[in-house]
Structure 1
C-alpha cells in the first residue's frame, strides 16, 4: 500500500535505530533487578562469604526455607550467657543491595560484643550462598521467613526484636515491621529511600521519564505510615551521594509511630561510611538501651510497676514506692517518659532499682 521504494541500506539503518530506541526505553524494565540487587558486586560476592568466626564471633549458621521453597542462609549470633541473651535486644540485620552478609560482620561484632545485643543476619535470595533470584516479592518472603524463625528460636523468642536496615535493607525492614508491628520493639533505619522510582530519579534524572517501567517499587513512604506504637531511630549521613538526605527526612515525617521518633544526622557521613563517623555506635546504643531495654521493665510480661523498688542507702531494708500515682501518670505519659518522671522525683539518698 505504501511503496516507499527505500534502499536496503536505509531500511537497515531505520531498523537499527528503532531497536536502539526500544532497548533504551525498555532496558530498565528488563535489567532493573540486576541493578537494584547487586549481589554480583564486588566480584566474588557469590563465592566468598566471611563467617562470624573469622572475626572471633560465636555463631550458628541456619538454612531457612521460604514458603516458595527457596533455601536461605542466615547467621545467628547470641550472647554467650543464655540468661543475658534472653534479657538483651535482638537485632534483625538487613544489609544493603551490594555484597553479602559477611561484609557487614565488622559492624555486627560491635553490636554483639560492645553493645551487648544478639544479632541475626539474613542472606537474601540470590545473595551469597542462598538460592534463587532477588526481587521485591521474594525479599518480602525472605524477611518474613527470618522473623518466623526468630519467633520460634529457643532464646530469641524471649527477646525484644529490633529491625535494622541500611539502604535497600531499610526498605526491607520498613516493609517487614509495617506488616508485623506487634512483633517488634523498635526499628533502626540508615540512609534509606522513599521508593525505588524516586531514588532512581535522583541518581539518574533522565530515567525519571521511565519510572512507569520500574516494577520494583519498595514504597517505603507508604509502608512507614503503618508503623505505630514502637520507637524508630533514623540515622542519616548528610553527604549521602546515592540517597539524598531529603528522603530520610521525609520518612521521618511520614512515620506513623506514636512513640519516639529519633533523628541522628552525621554531617560527614556518606552512603556507605556513616558507620565510621564518631558517635554512630553511641547513637544506636543510646536508642536500644534508652528506648527499648528500659521500657521492657514496664511493659514486658505485663504491668510491672509493683516491682519498682527504692532502696534507702541509710537503711538495710527496702520498701516499695507507692505506685498509685505512678500508675495514673504512666497511662498519661507512656512508659519511657514516666520512668524519667519517676527518676526525677527520687531523693538524693535513694537509688532506683527495676527488678525483673
Structure 2
C-alpha cells in the first residue's frame, strides 16, 4: 500500500509539473508578440528639449503605412546615420543616444519609429519592420537626395537585424551593428532553455543569414558584459560577415555600454567611417 501511495504521489507531482509546463508554454506562445515588440505611443520629448534642431518627417511604407521619424541635420559632414532602434519605447526614449551620436560624431541623423511605435501608424510585425526600413532608405535617397554611399545604416539590438536585412538588399553605404543577436530564436532559446521556442516562435529576425548578403563594410560593436545578448552573438556575426569588417569589443551593460566605453566606442566608429578598417 505504501508503495502504491508513493507511486500515486509521484504521478500526481509529474502531472502537475506537466500541466504547469504546458500552461507556461501556451502563455508564452500567445504572448510572444508582447515580448518581441514593446512599443510606446506617447512622444515624451523631442530633440528641441535637448537644444537640437530637427525636422519631424512623415513618410510612407511600400504597403501604405504612414511612418514617423526625426531628421537631425548637421552640416559638418555629408554622411547621414540611418538609425534603427530596439524593440521597446519609441524614438523619444532614444533622445540621450541621439544627442550622444549627434554631438560626439557630428553627423546628420535620421531615426524612425517602426509601425505601431510613437506616431507611426499600423501594428508592428517582422515583415513590417523590414518594409519600414526600406521606406526610410528610399526617403533619404529620393526626398533628401542623399548619395547611398553616404548612408550609414546603424541598428541597435533588434534594430541591428532590421539594419542587416536592409544593407543586404541595397548593397550600398556602410553597416553598423550594435549589441545585436544572431537571430531572435537563438537568443530566445538561451533565455528560455526549458521551452521549445525554436519550434513555436513566430518571429525570426535571422541576422546571421542577412549578414552573409551584406557587401558593404561592416562594423560590429558589442560589450563583453552585455547582460541581455551575450558577446558570443557578435563573434558569430563577425565570423559570417564579408570583408571588409571590424569587431569592436567594449564594456558595460546592454543599454549603457556606449557611455561606459565612450572613448573606444566613438573612436571605433570614427575610424570605421573614415575608412581605416581597410588597414586591418
Question: Aligned to 2:249, which of 259, 265, 271?
Answer: 265
Q: Could you report, residue by residue, the CA deviation over 1:74-121 in whole angstroms, capped at 9, with x for unpaired residues?
A: 101111x4xx5xx52111001111111122222222332331211100
Cα root mean square deviation, aligned? 2.3
**For residues 114 and 258 of structure 1, what CA distance do their matches in structure 2 show?**
27
Question: Aligned to 1:222, which of 170, 184, 209?
Answer: 209
1:18, CA displacement in angstroms?
9.4
**For residues 217 and 169 of structure 2, what CA distance do their matches in structure 1 show?**
16
Q: Aligned ranges for residues 23-34 of structure 1 at < 5 Å? A: 23-34=23-34
1:53 equivalent to 2:48? Answer yes
**What's 1:283 paired with?**
268
**For residues 26 and 105 of structure 1, what CA distance do their matches in structure 2 show?**
37
Q: Aligned ranges for residues 313-352 of structure 1 at < 5 Å? A: 336=278
**For residues 69 and 49 of structure 1, what CA distance do their matches in structure 2 show?**
26
1:167 equivalent to 2:157? Answer yes
Aligned length, in residue pairs: 263
Q: Summarize the Cα distance change of 1:166–1:75 in structure 2 as closer, same or farther, 3 Å threshold.
A: same
Q: Aligned ranges for residues 1-356 of structure 1 at < 5 Å? A: 23-39=23-39, 45-79=40-74, 81=75, 84=76, 87-157=77-147, 160-181=150-171, 184-207=172-195, 209-228=196-215, 230-255=216-241, 257-259=242-244, 261-266=245-250, 268-277=251-260, 278-279=262-263, 280-291=265-276, 336=278
Which structure has the larger Rg?
A: 1
1:27, CA displacement in angstroms?
2.9
Question: Gaps (5+ residues) in structure 1?
Answer: 1-15, 40-44, 293-335, 341-356
Larger RCO (alpha carbons 8 Å, 6+ apart): 2
User: TM-score of the superposition, structure 1-length normalised?
Assistant: 0.69
Q: Summarize the Cα distance change of 1:154–1:165 in structure 2 as closer, same or farther, 3 Å threshold.
A: closer
**For residues 64 and 120 of structure 2, what CA distance do their matches in structure 1 show?**
12
**For residues 266 and 203 of structure 2, what CA distance do their matches in structure 1 show?**
32
**For residues 175 and 148 of structure 2, what CA distance do their matches in structure 1 show?**
18
Q: Could you report, residue by residue, the CA deviation over 1:163-192 in whole angstroms, capped at 9, with x for unpaired residues?
A: 1111101111011111111xx321111111
1:22, CA displacement in angstroms?
5.1
The answer to whether the 8 Å contact 1:202/1:243 transfers is no
* Secondary structure class of the residue paired with 2:161: helix
The answer to whether the 8 Å contact 1:28/1:214 transfers is no
**For residues 233 and 158 of structure 1, what CA distance do their matches in structure 2 show?**
17
The answer to whether the 8 Å contact 2:104/2:266 transfers is no
1:206, CA displacement in angstroms?
1.4
1:72, CA displacement in angstroms?
0.9
Q: Summarize the Cα distance change of 1:132–1:23 in structure 2 as closer, same or farther, 3 Å threshold.
A: farther
User: TM-score of the superposition, structure 2-length normalised?
Assistant: 0.86
The answer to whether the 8 Å contact 2:149/2:174 transfers is no
* Secondary structure class of the residue paired with 1:156: coil
Q: Summarize the Cα distance change of 1:38–1:22 in structure 2 as closer, same or farther, 3 Å threshold.
A: same
The answer to whether the 8 Å contact 1:165/1:189 transfers is yes
The answer to whether the 8 Å contact 1:96/1:167 transfers is yes
Q: Summarize the Cα distance change of 1:116–1:28 in structure 2 as closer, same or farther, 3 Å threshold.
A: same
**What's 1:300 paired with?**
none
The answer to whether the 8 Å contact 1:93/1:164 transfers is yes
Question: Gaps (5+ residues) in structure 2?
Answer: 1-15
The answer to whether the 8 Å contact 1:94/1:165 transfers is yes
The answer to whether the 8 Å contact 1:88/1:159 transfers is no
**For residues 65 and 41 of structure 2, what CA distance do their matches in structure 1 show?**
16
* Secondary structure class of the residue paired with 2:67: strand
